Amino acid sequence: MAGLMLRPVLYCKLHHAAVTQADPEYVGSITIDADLLKASGLRVNDKVLIANCRNGERFETYVFRGEPGSGIIGINGAAALLAQPGDRVIILHFAQMSDAEYAEHHPRVLVMNADNTIAESWNYDPDPVLASVG
């Protein structure tokens, strides 16, 4: 009998968030405004992949909760050497899902304004062909 196979798929994304601070002396992580966590479905301690649109750097870290309404996107610890205030970043969170979970999942996408307010919000649909497999 085959075991359940899980695959990493996009859970949510913050697109073009503006880095507001970069602090290499702070304990590692990315600090994200609590309102954006709630709107995207991200949670404290979730692992994220960050892509810096200015220099192409990609790095992984975990989420800290920032002050609600602050607009903070703070890159902390060693990762702060890969970004600077004003950089636009894409914050990606992935989840392990079965094919059945994938078929029902619609990743949340937040497109950010320069001040880290939400310009647009939508959900991706699963691939209808792949979602029907299994």
Catalytic residues: 29, 62
The burial of 45, by beta-carbon neighbours within 10 Å (0-12 exposed, 13-18 middle, 19 or more buried), is given as exposed
Can you spell out the DSSP letters for 27-52?
PSEEEEEHHHHHHHT--TT-EEEEEE
